[in-house]
């Protein structure tokens, strides 16, 4: 993270007013209660048992700063809280509660950071305030934010098949996971901040990736008054549809050409061999690498990359850099995405990025199959055999069950899970800012789905007005949330958001850097990430390793 225009302050000093001109505060901002470190420790211990709506704090522990250099998991001196709300027994006879964890730093910057979840939650993530993208060497807690996380109302069950998904048998657990945890956890967190520091936060931020990105979109659309700025990274805002495509559809098209596994069923992780995947990568690069003016092993002009995988089938006498006809047909079906028998697109097509060749291995199959069967469809399919579910289910039937309700499950999966509405009138009116980004080699969520959504936002507000509060960025070669051997995945989206919220500096572009740890052949390469619909185009001269030689067009 670069400087965030939010200088931190110790709770235990005579606290001077932050000089926040252009940073979202003013000389009239209230100041936190002054405490020495000893008083801070005492106040931390005193929070144990503090009531919040529907529950209470059950643990409060002073935590010393970690030793060594700053890192993504390092911590400063802080008060660590854990608590729960809504303790109850579900209709499945199992115990549930909406758990939360908070970290309240001794040196507080008067800001609040809600760290979004991951997977299907069910874990009480450490409240460090993880930053997005790859290669982070800091976190929000280190930078002075009060941070909260939540398990979203359930805990994954250990020692049983598909224990992460079994909460889908309880309606209330579904709803808290879907959208109900946000206002409750935020209210509890802000109440505890006020009790502890004596003031409410000057600014509030939500940052999340994947399921956390979905929650971020929920926040902007359904709870627009909670956060000043939101980063929605790799957002599964149409997660229900993505789960059907990523499980039932992809399992069945893979099964048609996959080898038989040791269990006698198709091994859907191996429809393409390693050599086949190399052909897909090379064909994409051959077709699209140079479209941005630079043959650099990346596909940066994604909007123009539209090859036909059927053309990759081997012709008579051809044996190199091509696929068998059945495999070429499979690749086309994979990239085109699922459709119902009536022709309706189930989710979205995949972009042609060289990193997308790995999609053929169905890396997210288990989580998508578990979500689709147990959580998003009504009634749920509770099963220990997720492969059997994907191979045997009907795309049409499961797609229809995403919209279904019954007397027990009164909200559909689409309703409690997704965040598809372009209506952000209230969020925009209050001055909220939203940054959405997605990797082009993300094997879970497609940039085309984000693009389609952002076009709806533009249609509602006009392109210029939409860009005034919401911007989308597509990252060539980046995988799910971070990583990817064909791109540049290290960039500061949170810093860009804070600058936008607190300085009024809108992010036209963010500079991203390639990391050796991501597997790239060009560590240290930089590129501009351009706000949609612009893309990074080579200027025609200068090193292709330097972002300065590319412009957003």
State the catalytic residues. Answer: 210, 442, 480
**What single-letter DSSP state applies at residue 265?**
S
Decide if 8 contacts 143 (C-beta within 8 A): yes
Decide if 117 contacts 150 (C-beta within 8 A): yes
The CA-atom distances, in angstroms, between 548 and each of 353, 437, 486, 520, 521 are 23, 21, 19, 20, 20
- CA nearest to 327, candidates 265, 248, 282, 273: 273
516: its two tokens? 């050796």
Give Dmax over CA atoms of the chain in angstroms.
81
The CA-atom distances, in angstroms, between 111 and each of 24, 29, 333 are 11, 12, 47
Integer Rg of the chain from CA = 24
To 5 degrees, how large is the angle CA 504–CA 227–CA 178?
140
What is the C-alpha to C-alpha distance for residues 364 and 268, in angstroms, rounded to an integer?
12
Any bridge partners for residue 526, and if so which?
A: 513
295: its two tokens? 């043959």
Burial of 54 (0-12, 13-18, 19+ CB in 10 A): middle
Any bridge partners for residue 234, and if so which?
A: none
Any bridge partners for residue 81, and if so which?
A: 60, 102
To 5 degrees, how large is the angle CA 376–CA 176–CA 59?
140
Beta strands at 470-475 and 509-513: parallel, antiparallel or unpaired: unpaired
DSSP codes joined into one string, 384-419:
S-HHHHHHHS-HHHHHHHTS---SS--S-HHHHH--
């Amino acid at each position: 993270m670069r400087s965030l225009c939010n200088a931190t302050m110790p709770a235990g000093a005579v606290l001077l007013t932050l000089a926040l001109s252009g940073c979202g505060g003013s000389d009239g901002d209230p100041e936190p209660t002054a405490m020495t470190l000893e008083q801070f420790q005492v106040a931390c211990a005193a929070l144990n048992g503090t009531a919040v709506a529907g529950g209470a704090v059950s643990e409060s522990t002073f935590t010393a700063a970690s030793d060594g250099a700053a890192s993504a998991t390092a911590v400063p001196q802080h008060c660590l809280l854990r608590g729960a709300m809504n303790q109850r027994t579900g209709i499945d006879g199992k115990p549930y509660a909406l758990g939360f964890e908070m970290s309240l730093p001794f040196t507080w910057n008067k800001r609040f950071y809600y760290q979004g979840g991951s997977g299907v939650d069910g874990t009480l993530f450490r409240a460090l305030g993880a930053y997005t993208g790859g290669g982070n060497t800091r976190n929000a807690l280190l930078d002075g934010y009060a941070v909260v996380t939540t398990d979203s109302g359930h805990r994954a069950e250990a020692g049983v098949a598909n224990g992460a998904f079994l909460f889908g048998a309880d309606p209330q657990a579904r709803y808290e996971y879907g959208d109900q945890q946000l206002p409750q956890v935020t209210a509890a967190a802000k109440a505890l901040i006020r009790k502890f520091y004596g003031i409410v936060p000057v600014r509030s931020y939500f940052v999340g990736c994947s399921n956390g990105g979905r929650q971020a979109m929920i926040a902007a659309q359904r709870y627009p008054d909670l956060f000043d700025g939101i980063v929605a990274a790799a957002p599964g805002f149409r997660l229900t549809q993505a789960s059907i495509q990523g499980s039932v559809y992809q399992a069945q098209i893979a099964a048609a050409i996959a080898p038989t596994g040791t269990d006698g069923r198709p091994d859907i992780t191996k429809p393409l061999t390693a050599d086949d995947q190399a052909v897909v990568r090379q064909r994409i690069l051959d077709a699209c690498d140079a479209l941005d003016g630079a043959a650099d092993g990346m596909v940066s002009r994604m909007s123009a990359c539209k090859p036909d995988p059927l053309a990759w089938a081997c012709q008579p006498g051809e044996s190199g850099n091509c696929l068998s006809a059945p495999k070429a047909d499979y690749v086309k079906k994979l990239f085109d995405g699922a459709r119902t028998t009536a022709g309706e697109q189930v989710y979205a097509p995949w972009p042609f990025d060289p990193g997308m060749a790995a999609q053929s291995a169905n890396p997210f199959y288990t989580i998508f199959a578990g979500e689709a069967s147990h959580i998003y469809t009504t009634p749920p399919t509770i099963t220990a055999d997720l492969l059997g579910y994907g191979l045997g289910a009907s795309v049409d039937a499961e797609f229809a069950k995403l919209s279904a309700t019954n007397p027990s499950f009164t909200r559909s999966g689409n309703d409690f899970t997704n965040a598809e509405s372009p209506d952000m009138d209230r969020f925009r009116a209050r001055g909220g800012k939203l940054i959405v980004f997605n990797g082009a080699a993300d094997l879970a969520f497609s940039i085309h789905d984000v693009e389609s959504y952002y076009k709806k936002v533009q249609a509602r507000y006009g392109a210029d007005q939409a860009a005034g509060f919401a911007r989308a960025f597509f990252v060539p070669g980046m995988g799910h949330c971070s990583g990817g051997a064909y791109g540049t995945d290290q960039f500061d989206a949170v810093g860009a958001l804070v600058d936008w919220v607190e300085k009024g500096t809108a992010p036209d572009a963010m500079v991203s850097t390639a990391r050796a740890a991501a597997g790239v052949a060009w560590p240290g390469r930089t590129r501009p990430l351009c706000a949609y619909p612009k893309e990074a185009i080579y200027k025609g001269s200068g090193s292709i390793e330097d972002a300065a030689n590319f412009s957003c067009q």
